[in-house]
Amino acid sequence: MSRPAKRSVTLRGHRTSVSLEDEFWFAFRHIAAEKNRPINDLAAEIDTARGIDGGLASAIRLFVLKYYQEQSG
Protein backbone atom coordinates (compact mmCIF):
# COMPACT_ATOMS: atom_id res chain seq x y z
CA MET A 1 0.00 0.00 0.00
CA SER A 2 1.19 3.51 -0.76
CA ARG A 3 1.97 6.18 1.81
CA PRO A 4 -0.75 8.75 2.52
CA ALA A 5 -0.70 11.82 0.28
CA LYS A 6 -2.56 15.08 0.80
CA ARG A 7 -5.65 15.45 -1.38
CA SER A 8 -7.76 18.58 -1.66
CA VAL A 9 -11.52 18.58 -1.27
CA THR A 10 -14.04 21.37 -0.87
CA LEU A 11 -16.56 21.01 1.94
CA ARG A 12 -19.45 23.46 1.83
CA GLY A 13 -17.31 26.10 0.11
CA HIS A 14 -14.17 25.59 2.22
CA ARG A 15 -11.09 23.88 0.81
CA THR A 16 -9.44 21.36 3.07
CA SER A 17 -7.06 18.47 2.65
CA VAL A 18 -7.15 14.84 3.66
CA SER A 19 -4.21 12.46 3.73
CA LEU A 20 -5.18 9.24 2.01
CA GLU A 21 -3.29 6.39 0.42
CA ASP A 22 -3.66 6.16 -3.38
CA GLU A 23 -5.68 2.96 -3.04
CA PHE A 24 -8.29 4.61 -0.81
CA TRP A 25 -8.37 7.80 -2.89
CA PHE A 26 -8.90 5.93 -6.15
CA ALA A 27 -11.56 3.71 -4.54
CA PHE A 28 -13.31 6.81 -3.14
CA ARG A 29 -13.30 8.45 -6.57
CA HIS A 30 -14.61 5.22 -8.12
CA ILE A 31 -17.49 5.07 -5.63
CA ALA A 32 -18.38 8.72 -6.28
CA ALA A 33 -18.44 8.03 -10.03
CA GLU A 34 -20.55 4.89 -9.54
CA LYS A 35 -23.04 6.90 -7.50
CA ASN A 36 -22.89 9.72 -10.07
CA ARG A 37 -21.95 12.13 -7.27
CA PRO A 38 -19.32 14.86 -7.22
CA ILE A 39 -16.49 13.78 -4.91
CA ASN A 40 -16.78 17.01 -2.91
CA ASP A 41 -20.47 16.37 -2.22
CA LEU A 42 -19.76 12.83 -1.07
CA ALA A 43 -16.89 14.05 1.12
CA ALA A 44 -19.18 16.69 2.67
CA GLU A 45 -21.82 14.05 3.41
CA ILE A 46 -19.19 11.83 5.09
CA ASP A 47 -17.85 14.83 7.00
CA THR A 48 -21.30 15.65 8.35
CA ALA A 49 -21.99 12.05 9.37
CA ARG A 50 -18.64 11.45 11.10
CA GLY A 51 -19.29 13.60 14.13
CA ILE A 52 -16.39 14.95 16.17
CA ASP A 53 -14.71 11.72 17.29
CA GLY A 54 -12.68 10.98 14.16
CA GLY A 55 -10.91 12.68 11.31
CA LEU A 56 -12.21 13.02 7.79
CA ALA A 57 -9.52 10.77 6.29
CA SER A 58 -10.44 7.96 8.69
CA ALA A 59 -14.13 8.47 7.95
CA ILE A 60 -13.46 8.19 4.20
CA ARG A 61 -11.43 5.00 4.71
CA LEU A 62 -14.27 3.49 6.74
CA PHE A 63 -16.82 4.60 4.12
CA VAL A 64 -14.80 2.88 1.38
CA LEU A 65 -14.41 -0.28 3.47
CA LYS A 66 -18.13 -0.42 4.29
CA TYR A 67 -19.09 0.20 0.67
CA TYR A 68 -17.03 -2.73 -0.59
CA GLN A 69 -18.11 -4.99 2.26
CA GLU A 70 -21.74 -4.31 1.33
CA GLN A 71 -20.98 -4.99 -2.34
CA SER A 72 -19.48 -8.39 -1.57
CA GLY A 73 -21.94 -9.42 1.09
Q: Domains of the chain by range and CATH?
A: 5-72 (1.10.3990.20)
Phi-psi region of 12 (alpha: psi -120 to 50; beta: other; left: phi over 0): left
Over the range 31-58, which residues count as b (16 or more CB within 10 Å of their CB) and which as e? bbeeeeeebbebbbebbeebeeeeebbe
Asked if pLDDT for residue 73 goes beyond 80, the answer is no
Contact status, residue 57 vs residue 20, Cβ threshold 8 Å: yes
- Residues 1-21: tens digit of each pLDDT: 789 999 999 998 999 999 999
pTM of this prediction? 0.92
